[in-house]
Chains A and B, each alone.
Chain A
């Protein structure tokens, strides 16, 4: 791995508990943070699938008193958080367990701001005032249905965007019982989202030894497990590896900045019903081909992340990054053949060519936040619109 040594900072406060009976260790961890009465939040869907019962059974031998709210909707808002704030306070809870990804963690992070200070702190944070109080312990029990920012500084609550490193969960639990087999498009979307975050971290000009280490772990797990998990619903270990990969990729990405493909995928998904991870998968090869044209020596190690040490070392340096793109395209094509209704291009999403321009303008409502050359964004979008994989 070639890289420039320069100034950086890196922060990942989360304690990871991954594997068999991980849930059973959660009470001890909470006790270590002086918490004995956690408030569990989840979605109706996960509740129906019996996940909260799994949790309750795992805590049976502990002294924890738990409360459960199983009504987190797909798009949580301020009203919900105010309601949960009342519930949390009236019952004297002292920690939050988010069971499930995406909206559950958005709501849990927002609730944590409210219960650790006052509900007004939510608006105060969006207005740019940093949080001043230490938040309550927050544990994330993740599965494969992920938004890509569960373990990051970010949370979205209706129109509000919340950003603070204090929002990053203290604990992450990846337990086989709470990582059930999911539909193929959900697994593919999670894997491609993580892959995008890992690849963009690896190509980021400010990459550092720690973001490299996390991105490497993510890319290796995704390449080694994604297809197998989709083909074989009994591959429990593979599923856990993919959730681990999501955490590693999110952490690498969160310590740099969201990349162009990630942002475009998020922006496009707001105008259609397709999971952002699948859209990122369609954009990623075009982004990489563009990157290769502008290649610098520091970028030659992408194939190490994607192909692993054996393949990387056995490949001539000058074709190495081409190989990395080829491998990613191979996986993408394989996923498209395995996942029903996987779009083949951006055009398939019902997006008109003239709509693309709205995504190009930096800072526009539809567009991306980061500063990129609009010509690059236009180039990638047009290719992803015209080319059908």
Chain B
């Protein structure tokens, strides 16, 4: 195991996992001296009956101050301010965020407003602006992928001023994250597949990236092992509670890994594809991950080869000569995509040309790839990628990922 010359690692979130972890919420909030939490969630989560499961687990042990179940997928400052006002009106003293990335970001934004009595959230944007603990925040993720239940960033948009404010602070980390298998049991196969590949990408990019450290390594390896053993299984059989819990664990572990070591070109291109074509993040991650491995392999061959152990298990690892391990790792990731494609009845896209929008039309027209490549140039995540990429490199990768063919090794920078 390698020790870098310098590293930092931090994840102060208490993790509570299990098939009945939600039942621990009243005790947790009591320990945090909170009596009247507000639940923040969205219509989809509430409609799937998940808020009722949370309420059922809390029973009458706590008074719920308010349930705000209308966080939109594209939340913004107005929503944050409106819900902060509700929090105050109802005399709440803690937040329970039940949902995915947008709900978590909104809850973190509300927490800044109500804890700092902020009338202008902007004052607290950027790193280091928050200096003291906020109100207790309990995160209950309802997908197993983003890892936002263990990350310290919140992005809140201001649609009126066309601004995107990023808040970065350890005080934004949830106090507790609840990983309960019931929260993901009803997730459809294609979303299970894409969000699971998002988690796999976090772990793999963290492991071969330039600012890895022993703890990001250990958490990444654990996440990859859990995903390899459970993602295809749970996509085939969505009701598998053990596999659901394993994936919830994996997503949190991968979140710890990447938030302490950064990500690379797979995220760079994924962000750009998401913003140009509106493709869900997990879908982009699944398609691009094999290309991140191929493009960087000449810089990180040995490190990538180590991934065969958690992916393929001891026998495959031992039976594969060292110089062939990275090939096997890349083939393995492509095979997972294929298996997920089959298990989801073809809904899990393997290449960009397979991605469809809501109306069933191609979501990533080939002629948009140049726009995506241009957008990628402005994304900071490329800084931690092992090999450099310019516009032509981005376009080459996008072309291959659109078509679904391997990169031509002769065209990769050396």
A residues at B contact (CB < 8 Å): 1, 5-22, 25, 32-34, 130, 132, 134, 208-210, 212-214, 216-217, 220-221, 224, 237, 240-241, 244, 248, 304, 309, 312-314
Contacts and interface: CB of A to CB of B under 8 A. Distances in A.
Nearest to B14: A11
Nearest to A221: B1
Given A9-B16, A9-B17, A217 B246 contact: no
Contacts of A34: 131-132
B407 interface: no
B7 A314 contact: no
A224 B1 contact: yes
Given A32-B131, A33-B131, A34-B132, A221 B3 contact: yes
B131 A213 contact: no
Interface in B210-239: 213-215, 217-219, 221-222, 225-226
Interface in B1-35: 1, 3-12, 14-21, 24, 31, 33
Contacts of B20: 7
The range of chain B's interface size is 35 or more
Interface stretch (B138-146, B284-292, B311-319): B311-319
Interface string B113-157: 000000000000000100111000000000000000000000000
Contact of A221 (B132, B213, B214, B253): B214
Nearest to B10: A15
Contacts of B131: 32-34
Interface in B75-130: 128
Tell me if A's interface is mostly helix, strand, loop or mixed: mixed
A208 B245 CA distance: 12
Contacts, number: 118
Interface in B360-405: none
B15 A19 contact: no
A5 B306 contact: no
Contacts of B245: 5
B317 A309 contact: yes
Contacts of A15: 8-10, 12, 170
A134 B226 CA distance: 36
A13 B15 CA distance: 11
B4 A19 contact: yes
Given A8-B18, A33-B132, A309-B309, 8 more contacts: A9-B24, A16-B9, A19-B3, A32-B131, A32-B170, A132-B33, A209-B250, A213-B221
B242 interface: yes
A19 B7 contact: yes
Contacts of B315: 313
A220 B4 CA distance: 15
- Residue in B213, B225, B314 whose Cβ sees the most chain A Cβ within 10 Å: B314
A6 B18 contact: yes
Contact of A7 (B18, B215, B225, B314): B18
A16 B215 contact: yes
Nearest to B133: A134
A251 to B, nearest CB: 10
A314 to B, nearest CB: 5
Contacts of A22: 6
Contacts of A212: 222
B201 interface: no
Contacts of B246: 5
CB-based closest 7 A-B pairs: A7-B18, A19-B6, A313-B318, A213-B218, A15-B10, A13-B12, A313-B314
9 contacts: A6-B18, A15-B9, A15-B12, A134-B133, A213-B219, A214-B215, A217-B214, A240-B3, A313-B315
Contacts of A241: 3
B249 interface: yes
Contacts of B21: 7
A107 B214 CA distance: 29
A20 B9 contact: no
B356 to A, nearest CB: 35
A304 B4 CA distance: 22
Nearest to B33: A132
Nearest to A34: B131
A144 B394 CA distance: 47
Contacts of B1: 217, 220-221, 224
